Structure 1
Amino acid sequence: MILTQVTAAETEINPLVPHVPEIILGVIVIALLFVGVAKFIVPNFEKAYADRTAAIEGGIENANAKQAEADAKLAQLEAQLADARHEAARIREEAREQGAAIKAELRAEAQAEAERIVNAGKAQVEAERQAAAASLKTEVGSLATGLAGRIVGESLDDDERSSRVVERFLADLEAGVH
């Protein structure tokens, strides 16, 4: 009985002790899985990571390039704006100078026109005064001749004599006034 107990104990499987064929089979399966994962899955993951990294870095580089381009455009536009402001200031200054020159020119023209009008008015007044004086001389002469003829009692219709008398009379009047 003892022998049967020993053989039975030997044939009985101890769950705590693994069998060598199972260990070898497990190692082979794990090795095959490791090789399969290392050969097929890991390269795909690495490729996906590399593509993703390249896309992110490319996006960052692209964004940096776009930012640098935008900064350059901004600097260019600011320079153009500054040039435009300087040009506008120069044009305003030229317009002020031209306005002042036109104003001075118009003032000089107006003053010359005013002087011309005043001189023309003075000449017209002088001509009218001379015409009025001549008309008055003629009228005063005819009145004086008529009056003298009544006083003297003779007719002084002789034009030559009457004009000498009138001129002498007017000369005497002018000498007495001055």
Structure 2
Amino acid sequence: MPLLEGINLGPLLPEHPEELIVGIILFLIIWFVAAKFVVPKFEATYAERTEEIQGGIEKAEAAQAEAAAALEEYRAQLASAREEASRIREDAKSQGAAIIADMRQQATEESSRLLSNAKAQIEAERATAVTQLRSEVGGLATTLAGRIIGESLDDDERAARTVDRFIADLEAHPAGQA
């Protein structure tokens, strides 16, 4: 080692050159083993992880696309449900209006029927009252007239004419003038 004698390399220069050769040989063996066995394992592991990550990304994209499709379907169903609810409300309103109109018509018909029945009943009662009044007034008038005249007016035909004439006079004059 005459070339290196003037240079002080310190700890880098081995004292024995055989150690340097053995070190280089061991380095080459370790490098060969690493290149032959360890690096392919690392590469395989790296490739697997890359595939897993890529598969995960694809799955995530597929899941995201599926979620977007489900969201669109949900929105479409929601819009359809809103339209149907609106249609049902409109149908209910129209049915309610029809029911109200029908009930009003029925109430009008019922009130007309009750009014006509009441009028008929009043007319019948009036006719009965007039008939009853004529017979009572006629009987009273005949008795009174007979007492005034002093003779009996039992003649039915004459009594009926007298009563009719008396009632006609009453009907001809309003109550305030009588």
TM normalised by structure 2 equals: 0.81
Indicate which of 122, 126, 132 corresponds to 2:123: 126
Letter in 1 for 2:171: E
Where does residue 67 of structure 2 map in the other structure? 70
What residue number does 1:7 align with? Answer: none
**1:36–1:148 Cα change, 3 Å:** same
Paired position in structure 1 for 2:160: 163
Question: What is the aligned counterpart of 2:146 among 139, 145, 149?
Answer: 149
- Gap regions ≥5 residues in structure 1: 1-14
Q: 2:56 aligns with which of 47, 59, 62?
A: 59
Whether the 8 Å contact between 2:14 and 2:20 is mirrored in structure 1 is no
CA deviation profile, 1:45-84 (whole Å, cap 9, x unmatched): 0011111111111111111111111111011001100100
**Partner AA of 1:157 in structure 2:** D
Tell whether 2:26 aligns with 1:34: no
Share of identical aligned residues, percent?
56
Q: Distance in 1 between matches of 2:140 and 2:25?
A: 164
The separation in 2 between residues aligned to 1:86 and 1:26, in whole angstroms, is: 85
* Partner Cα distance (1:166, 1:45) in 2: 139
SS of 2:154 mapped into structure 1: coil
Deviation, structure 1 residue 176 = 5.0
Secondary structure, aligned partner of 2:63: helix
Letter in 2 for 1:148: A
| Structure 2 Cα separation of the partners of residues 68 and 169 of structure 1 | 106
Aligned equivalents of 2:86 and 2:107: distance in 1?
Answer: 31
TM-score, normalisation: structure 1: 0.81
**What are the ranges of 5 or more consecutive residues in structure 2 without an aligned counterpart?**
1-11
* RMSD between superposed Cα atoms in Å: 2.4
Paired residues, what number? 164
SS at 2:86's partner residue?
helix
TM-fit CA distance, 1:121: 1.2
2:72 is equivalent to residue 82 of structure 1: no
Contact 2:146 2:152 in 1 (8 A): yes
Structure 1 residue 37, shift from structure 2 partner: 1.1
Please tell me whether Structure 1 or Structure 2 has the larger radius of gyration of its CA atoms: 1
